[in-house]
Amino acid sequence: DKHSFFASEETNFASLGLQTSLVDALQGAGYDRPSTVQELSAPPILSGRSLVLAAETGSGKTMAYLAPLISSILSGKAQEADVQSTSSEGAADGILVLCPNAALCSQVVAFADSLKGPSGAPLVRSAHISSAAPLPRDMPDIVAATPAGLMAATQEYGQYAGWHWTKAGIVTRIRHVVLDEADLLLTGGFQRDVRRILDALREGDRAQRSSAVARQLGVSGDALAALPRHLRKAAAQGVPAMHTCTVHHTPTDTLMRGCVGTRRTWKRQYLFVAATMPSGAGQTVAGDLGRLFPDLLWLSGPSLHEAQRRVAHTWLPITQDSWRSSLQARSLGEVGQGRTLVFAANVAAANEVATVLADVGLQPLLYHREVSPQDRAGALDAMRAGEGGVLVCTDAAARGIDIPDVTHVVQSSFAASAIDFLHRVGRTGRAGKVGRVTSLYMPNHAVLAEAIKAAVDAGEPVEGAFSRNRSFSKKVRK
C-alpha cells in the first residue's frame, strides 16, 4: 500500500544501515519501525548525497534526516578520534538545521536529546541557537537555529564565544546542512538571510575543493590559480576523485602525468526538506534549487501534496451571519474528546475566535506572533501534556510543529492557498493515525475551497491549485 505510513515489515532501522547504538536508542525512545519516507531517505543520506526530500505532512521527515545524520556522526567518532578537528582538511562533522521558527528548532533538539545511550546521556550534543542566550562554549554536534537567529547570535556573540562561532568557523565545522521547511525558508522574509548563509557555505565549499585539489596535485594555491581555466573550473566544481601526482615546474596539463593513488575530497552535504515543493523549472523553489544545486537527488513521498487518506473532511460554506454559531458548534463538541487546533487568518482573527469560543465556556489557548515566546511554548507544552484542549492559532503553528494526537483541525477561516491548506490539515492524522478536518469558508474563498475539495474527494494531489489560487482570489474580488 503506497499510502502506508510504515515501511515494509522486513525493514527495520538496522537494515537501513544505522549505527547499532542509534538503533538501540531509537527503540529505547519508542520507535520500533521506520516509516516509508525514512526507508526512502536513509541510504542516500548515509552515503553523503545532497538531496531534496519532499514528503507529505506527518510522514516522519525530522527523523528521516536526523537519524542518518546522527548515525554518520557516530560512525565518524568511532573511526577517528579527531573527527571534530578544525584542520583545513575538513574533518569536522557538525550538523546545521535551519528552521523557520523557534518551536521547530526546539523540536529538532528535543528529538536528538531523546536518543540516549546506555549511560542515559544523549548520543550527540545539540543546541538551539539564538540571540536570546549566549552561545555554548563548544560547538555541539547539532546546531538548530532560525536563519535570523543564527545570523544575530554569531554576529553578536561569535567573536567572544570562540573561533568556531565565527563565519570561518561555522563554514569549517559544519559538514551537513539541513533546511527544514525549505520551500518557506527559500522565499519571502527568510530568503535574504538564508541566501547569505548558503553563499558563505558554498564559498567555503569552493575554497575547500580548491585547497584539496592543490594538495593532491602537490602545488601551492597560487600555482593552482595559474592553471588553465578548464582545470581550475574542474577544481571549482569539485572532482569526485583526484590523484596524488608528480609535480612539474610548469602548471600545465603535464601536471596530470605520473599520477598514483586516489583520495576523495571532503564534500559538504545539503538536505532540503519540505512537505510542499511546487515543481517546475520556472520561478519556483524547485527551479531555484535545480539551478543552484544541479546535482541534487530528488526524493518524493508517496502521497506528496495529497491530503492524508485517514483524515475525514467536512466542508461547510458559511456567511458572516452564520460564522459565529457554526464555529461554536463545531468546536464545542470536541471538549474532552481530543486535541483541537482552530486556525485563524491573522492575529486579530485569532483573538476574536478565542473570544467567541470562550463565550460558550471553552478555555482556548492562543498561539500567534503577539503571544510571547514563553507563552507560546507554554501553550504547546499544555496541549502536549493534556488529553484534550483547544489551541487557537495562526499559520505560525502550521509549519512543522508536532502536537501528538490532534484529533480535529478547524479552519475558522479558509487557508489563503493550497499550500497553507496542506500544512494546516497536516497537523492531524500524523504518523498513520486518524483525524478530522472541518473547513468553514466564506463566499470569497469558495472557488479555492471547492477546487481543493474536488482534489481531496478524488484522492488526488492538490498541486493543481498551487499556481491558480492567486487568480482565484482576483476573480472573487472582481
Backbone angles phi, psi at 281, to 5 degrees: -90, 0
Q: Which residues contact 426 (CB under 8 A, 6 or more apart)?
A: 56, 57, 58, 275, 308, 398
Report pLDDT for 467: 55
Grid coordinates of 174: 559544519
Across 29-57, b (16+ Cβ under 10 Å) vs e yields eebebbbbbbbbbbebbbeebbbbbbbbb
Grid coordinates of 78: 568511532
Same fold, 14-202+266-300 and 311-477: yes
The domains of the chain are located at 14-202+266-300, 311-477
Give the closest residue to 237 by CA, choosing from 256, 212, 220: 212
CATH architecture of 311-477: 3-Layer(aba) Sandwich (3.40)
Q: List beta partners, residue 293.
A: none
Q: Long-range contacts made by residues 355-361, C-beta under 8 angstroms, separation at least 24? A: 356/324, 356/327, 356/328, 357/327, 357/328, 357/331, 357/332, 357/390, 357/392, 359/328, 360/328, 360/332, 361/332
- Cα 427-433-434 angle, rounded to 5 deg: 80
Backbone angles phi, psi at 129, to 5 degrees: -100, 130
Burial degree of 398 (CB within 10 A; 0-12, 13-18, 19+): buried
pTM, two decimal places: 0.86
117 alpha carbon, distance to own chain's centre: 25
Whether CATH 3.40.50.300 fits 14-202+266-300: yes
Per-residue pLDDT of the chain (478 residues; tens, 9 = 90+): 667 899 988 999 999 999 999 999 999 999 999 999 999 999 999 999 999 999 999 999 999 999 999 999 999 888 765 444 444 343 468 999 999 999 999 999 999 999 999 999 999 999 999 888 889 988 999 999 999 999 998 887 777 788 889 888 999 999 999 999 999 999 999 999 999 999 999 999 988 777 777 777 777 777 777 777 776 666 555 554 333 222 222 333 322 233 333 334 468 999 999 999 977 555 789 989 999 999 999 999 989 999 888 999 999 999 999 999 999 998 866 555 689 999 999 999 999 999 999 999 999 999 999 999 999 999 999 999 987 899 999 999 999 788 999 999 999 999 999 999 999 999 999 988 999 999 999 999 999 999 999 999 999 999 777 655 433 333 333 3
Phi and psi based region of residue 17 (left: phi greater than 0; alpha: psi -120 to 50; beta: remaining) = left
Strand 242-244 to strand 260-263: parallel, antiparallel, or no bridges (unpaired)? antiparallel
CA 371, 150, 77, 18: dihedral to nearest 10 degrees? 50
Burial degree of 316 (CB within 10 A; 0-12, 13-18, 19+): middle
Q: Which residues contact 456 (CB under 8 A, 6 or more apart)?
A: 307, 313, 462
* Neighbour tally for 120: CB within 10 Å: 7
- Cα 157-162-167 angle, rounded to 5 deg: 70
Residues 80, 91: contact at Cβ < 8 Å? Answer: yes
CA atoms within 13 A on the CB side of 133: 7
CA 400, 403, 408, 411: dihedral to nearest 10 degrees? -40
Give the closest residue to 296 by CA, choosing from 177, 464, 172: 177
375 vs 283: CA distance, rounded Å: 38
176 vs 45: CA distance, rounded Å: 10
* Neighbour tally for 222: CB within 10 Å: 9
